[in-house]
């Protein structure tokens, strides 16, 4: 393989990038933005080398304990469970949550062999049993697997006497009712306030 | 900036990749495909280091003269002018052209300060004047700038007594006439065979 073919193959490993996009990226970099190539290479190496998982919440972190877990100002009564670091980042960007997190790094999917061991359920239960945790917010996805994960975790927490809640389901901000799917409308109706 | 933020910023330099895609790529690599990170980093470094331009046709090449220009079996009577190495690669993939190429690495765009000097027009004219070249095929884009480039080059070639042709314009393969734009249909009509 030539260096160009190798580059195109490597770019195809990026999610959402097929043969055509990878070619376009490679040609663009080579012709118009050579400076971006060593910069991206170094960023990839540095990220691969330095980014590990927070020992406490399992999100991505360059330090053993991430910035959120290390912040004593946050509300220790709340623990929010998410599937991925990306979900956690989305919640943080809302600016409306001040508790701590626990990142599952996956969701239950028995067919793919992903059981409670793979999503760190035992660590979560130990974390939730710590002094001061009053409520575990289960913010897994509203997909079949995310719902199943939330259900299993809620049961395990209930048995241990820990209160758990789920994010509200309802009509997304900015949407016209006519175009919202019926399941969502039904939930929004039954959860009306 | 953290290593994660630096990686996301570097990924945003790729064409067609915005903040959301860059985040998704970074999270995907870190969580699911760490092995791809050093591989892509090395491919970027190797490509940046080894890929230069062919001295003869200006396409990307790891050798001073590219494989096409170095191939004595090709038809030296034909010289095909394209805007980019990607265009050349597309023509090669058709398997229906056996001549040589000249890659402009751009197109005339006076408003952006891209004149004949920047697209290697002088080198092209010298190349076209070589023994054996009987026809220059102007395969620049069918955009305003590509057409202007073809027009200027055709004039310069005509003055020097070199025959030039343009790719045929017409209805794309697989399209229904109803949905083809009118300019294309008009061209297909006037160029009917």
Going by pLDDT thresholds of 50, 70 and 90, the confidence category of residue A193 is: confident
pLDDT bracket for residue B106 (50, 70, 90): confident
Confirm whether A188 is domain-assigned. Answer: no
Q: What pLDDT was estimated at residue B192? A: 81
Question: Would residue B87 count as lying in a domain?
Answer: yes
Task: Output the pLDDT for position B188.
Answer: 85
pLDDT at site B39: 96
Of A27, A36, A39, nearest to B86 by CB-CB distance is A27
Output the pLDDT for position A131: 86
| Domain-embedded: residue B78 | yes
Task: Give a three-class secondary structure readout of chain A.
Answer: CCHHHHHHHHHCCCCCCCHHHHHHHHHHHHHHCCCHHHHHHHHHHHHHHHCEECCCCCCEECCCCCCCCCCCCCEEEEEEEECCHHHHHHHHHHCCCCEEEEECCCCCEHHHCECCCCCCHHHHHHHHCCCCCCEEEECCCCCHHHHHHHHHHHHHHHHCCCCEEECCCCCCCCCCHHHCCHHHHHHHHHCCC
pLDDT at residue A6, as a whole number: 96
| Average pLDDT value over all residues in chain A | 93
Interface check for B94 against chain A (CB to CB < 8 A): the answer is no
On whether residue B160 sits in a domain, the answer given is yes
CA distance A42 to chain B (A): 7
For B44-72, how does the pLDDT look when each residue is reduced to its tens digit (9 = 90+)? 999 999 999 999 999 999 999 999 999 99
- Does the CB of B52 have a partner CB in chain A at under 8 Å? no
Chain A positions touching B37 (Cβ under 8 A) are 44-45, 47-48
In chain A, the residue whose alpha carbon lies closest to the alpha carbon of B38 is A45
Contacts of A59 in chain B (CB under 8 A): none
Contact check, Cβ <8 Å, A13/B41: no
Average pLDDT over residues B21-32: 94
Is A103 in CB contact (< 8 Å) with chain B? Answer: no
- A49 band by pLDDT with thresholds 50, 70 and 90: very high
Q: Which of the pair, A178 or B127, is modelled with greater confidence? A: B127
Question: Which pLDDT score, from 0 to 100, does residue B175 have?
Answer: 87
Average pLDDT for A64-71: 96
Q: Is residue A125 part of a domain?
A: yes
Could you list the residue range(s) of the whole structural domain that residue A72 is in? 53-166
Residue A26 lies in a domain: no
Mean pLDDT of all residues in B104-128: 89
Is residue B62 within 8 A of residue A1, CB to CB? The reply is no
CATH of the domain at A138: 3.40.1360.10
Structure pTM? 0.82
pLDDT class of A97 with cuts at 50, 70, 90: very high
pLDDT of A61 above 90: yes
Q: Which of B9, B26, B40, B82 should be substituted to probe chain A, the one whose Cβ sees the most A Cβ atoms within 10 Å?
A: B40
Give the per-residue pLDDT at A50: 96
**Any domain includes A92:** yes
B38·A46 Cβ contact <8 A: no
- Tell me whether residue B175 is in a domain: no
> Phi first, then psi: what are they for B102, rounded to 5°?
-140, 125
Q: Total domain count for chain B? A: 1
| Mean predicted confidence (pLDDT) in B114-130 | 90
* Cβ–Cβ contact B7 with A under 8 A: yes
């Amino acid at each position: 393989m030539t260096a160009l073919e190798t580059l195109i193959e490597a770019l195809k490993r990026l999610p959402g990038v097929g043969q055509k996009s990878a070619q376009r990226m490679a040609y663009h970099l080579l012709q118009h933005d050579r400076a971006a190539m060593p910069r991206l290479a170094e960023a990839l190496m540095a990220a691969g080398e330095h980014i590990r998982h927070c020992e406490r919440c399992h999100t991505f972190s360059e330090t053993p304990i991430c910035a959120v877990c290390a912040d004593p100002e946050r509300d220790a009564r709340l623990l929010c469970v998410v599937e991925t670091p990306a979900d956690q980042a989305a919640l943080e960007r809302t600016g409306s949550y001040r508790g701590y997190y626990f990142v599952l790094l996956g969701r239950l999917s028995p067919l793919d062999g992903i059981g409670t061991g793979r999503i760190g359920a035992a660590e979560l239960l130990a974390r939730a049993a710590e002094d001061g945790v009053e409520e575990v917010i289960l913010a897994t996805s509203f997909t079949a697997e995310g719902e199943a994960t939330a259900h299993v975790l809620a049961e395990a927490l209930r048995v241990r006497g820990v209160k758990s809640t789920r994010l509200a389901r309802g009509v997304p901000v900015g949407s016209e009712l006519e175009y919202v799917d019926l399941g969502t409308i039904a939930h929004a109706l039954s959860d009306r306030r």
